[in-house]
Structure 1
Amino acid sequence: MNKNLIFTLLSSIVFLSACSTDFELEAEWKDIPVVYSFLSVQDTTHYVRVEKAFLEPGGNAFEIARVTDSIYYNNLTVELENLVTGETFIMERVNGSDEGYPKEEGLFANDPNVLYKLRADVAKLGEGDSIRLTFNRGDEVEPATAEIQIVGEIEPSRFNPPERITRTRFASPVNIAWTPDENTSIFDVRFTFNYLERLPGQTGFTLKAATWAVNRSISVPNNDGKVVAYEAGWESFYQSLATQIPQVEGAERVFNSMDLIITGAGDELYQFVRVSRANTGITSAQSIPTYSNVEGGLGIVTSRYTSVRQGIVLADEALDSLRTGIYTRNLNFN
């Protein structure tokens, strides 16, 4: 399971949902579950986060935020039902910190970091399966639910970009292509730039990496499973390296390879991003609409798939640009 990516996506949701310039931190109390989950056939374990909407009237927001009982349900049952196979599973309540998912420090209580867990070898999800999550809070309260389709494989093109890149001129963008699953509507595309580094005083080289985030939200809402093509400018590639790799006098660096990473998510995330962006900017309305696919609650439940194409190399003129270009000439690449 790609821990960094899934929680980057969750952080993006939080950021986008915080774009409003006019909101209430405290309102009339209602029992509203807030749900986030990205299910994937690639994961060994599936996780769901469920918290309470915040907060009771008359309370101190900063004090209550640090109380575990104020943000988590004590008697919540989370069910995952595969509507294709008819199987239903009860998810296990766990502390995310014990699972390798610590919650970031902040205003809200971070220990325990309550998550609901289901092992993939118990509930074997298939590409295209329809999944329903049900959140039972007891006390004769109507359950909250969310339904999604599991997205499938993304196949990166073997030719775009080519395996051996010889030119990285600013005026000539790199072409990136892939064939997605038809249930995928939004894509995150990035390259991992792998290199060897030896700093002054060190005897050997260390493998390091930098990330070129090409585009975090390429939208293909009417995806029919045909090839998706995207052009990216090489200048932003070199700018990314310059901001991530520090200039160190006497450092020795050697290019190793590049990996293309494409992650796709379902229509639910596309709709969330679309709605969140609809009224941002200088002409935006004061009240920004909120998208949620959780009936009887708030939040996003969707599916994702990540494909990695390894072994892309820079050669000839492209390597010269890395060594002597305006953004990277002081990074000491040999």
Structure 2
Amino acid sequence: MQKILFLLSAILLFSCETEFEINADWKELMVVHGILDQSKGEQFVRINKAFLGEQDALIMASISDSSNFNPSDLLVRLIKMRKMTSSSINYELLDSIDLVDTIMPKNYGEFYTDDNIIYKTSDTNFLRADKEYLLKIINTSSSNIVTSRTKLIDNINVTTSFPSFYRLGFYNGGEFTSTSINWSHASNAQIYQLQMLVRYRNDSAGAIANIQEFEWILPILPFNGNQEISQVIGGQQFFSKLELEINKNINNGENPDYERKVIGVDIQISAATQDLYTYMQINEPISGISQQRPTFTNIDNGIGIFTSRYNHYIDNLQLSEATHQGLSVELSDLNFIP
């Protein structure tokens, strides 16, 4: 979802008379990425080195020691806190846990090909929405200390009712319709995004049915002050996305003669802080003439991001009969059956 490995490349400057040595004495710079999500059990923090060296940058990137700290040198602690009073700047430390290192496989690339070292919580019930959390990382070999803190995002309260007979409607009476998913604003959230996982079945006479699925990520909704948030999902957009994804699969070898039917839709509503939104915006691909990128970090004595998000899941929603009928009409060339 984000690039969490940094490479600071060496640059050599030459002149006809003087050689410049720009690589100063090594200074530790810790790169931290952690996003707390109380909708999940385990929490993960990624910790790396930013580095500058004499060797070729790609050679250094392929060496684990160039990017990873020795886990035995790091104390990674998550501290639960609360304000002494609502207007106070002082905090009471309530509890703490130490994160443990673990291995997470990574895809092959130009960076080191060893597994990634990730730090995770051992207590899956440590997070509480009404508390703040301080991340404290101590390098015991260098005495370097890096900190950051964040508030959590409260539970997303979906106000749209989903009884067992509920059906997603995108078509009715020969016309496209829309569906709205509504929820209440969650404390400390500044952006929202809805994502759909759509599953459809391929059927063919004499063959075993197979299930395909695709993700549809809708645009980000910045919080505008309204306490009720609404995501409108247009029927024509839903049909167009379905057609696009199935044609992709056909171009990749899926039998175009299959009979098809949508068999379920999962919805994920995500909320995130302003810090995470700012970080995402700054790290978007640069498309303009200027290739300079502004920097953003909320890590004290390091770089990176430590913040929070929350995910709410609504599983296995079904389409209305009218929508199935509409698919068989509007996407008849893809053999949808009502």
Q: TM-score range by the shorter chain?
A: 0.7 to 0.9
How far off is 1:200 after superposition?
Answer: 6.0
Shift of 1:53: 0.8
Q: Matched residue of 2:33: which SS? A: strand
Counterpart residue number, 2:79: 81
Question: How far apart, in 2, do the equivalents of 1:301 and 1:46 lie?
Answer: 12
The alignment status of 1:314 with 2:319, answered yes or no, reads yes
Cα-to-partner distance string for 1:291-316 (whole Å, 9 max, x where unaligned): 11111111111212111223433224
- Give the structure 2 partner of residue 178 of structure 1: 183
Identity %: 23
1:146 Cα deviation after fit? 1.1
In the superposition, relative to structure 1, how do residues 309 and 287 fare at CA in structure 2: closer, same or farther (>3 Å)?
same
Q: Which residue of 2 aligns with 1:151?
A: 153
Evaluate the alpha carbon distance shift between residue 311 and residue 92 of structure 1 in structure 2; reply closer, same or farther with a 3 A threshold.
closer
Which residue is equivalent to 1:118?
A: 121
Q: CA deviation at 1:133?
A: 0.7
For 1:48 and 1:144, locate their aligned partners in 2 and report how far apart those are by CA, in whole Å.
13
Tell me the secondary structure at the aligned position of residue 39 of structure 1. strand
The structure with the largest alpha-carbon Rg is 2
Rounded Cα–Cα distance in structure 1 between residues aligned with 2:274 and 2:74:
27
Q: 1:49 aligns with which of 25, 46, 49?
A: 46
TM-score of the superposed pair, with normalisation by structure 1: 0.79
1:67 matches 2:74: no
SS in 1 for 2:147: strand
Alpha-carbon distance change, 24 to 124 in structure 1, aligned in 2, over 3 angstroms: closer
Query: What is residue 244 of structure 1 aligned with on the other side?
Result: 245
CA separation of 1:200/1:60 partners in 2, compared to 1, >3 Å: closer, same or farther? farther
Q: Which runs of 5+ in 1 are unaligned?
A: 1-7, 18-22, 97-101
Report the Cα distance in structure 1 between the residues aligned to 2:170 and 2:262, rounded to whole angstroms.
15
Q: Does 1:214 align with 2:218?
A: yes
Q: Paired residue for 1:38?
A: 35
1:322 to 1:146, Cα distance in 2 relative to 1, 3 A:
same
Equivalent AA in structure 2 for residue 208 of structure 1:
Q
Residues 77, 136 of structure 1: 8 Å contact kept: yes
Question: Which amino acid in structure 2 is aligned with residue 69 of structure 1?
Answer: D
In structure 1, distance between residues paired with 2:204 and 2:79: 53
1-structure distance, mates of 2:286, 2:305: 20
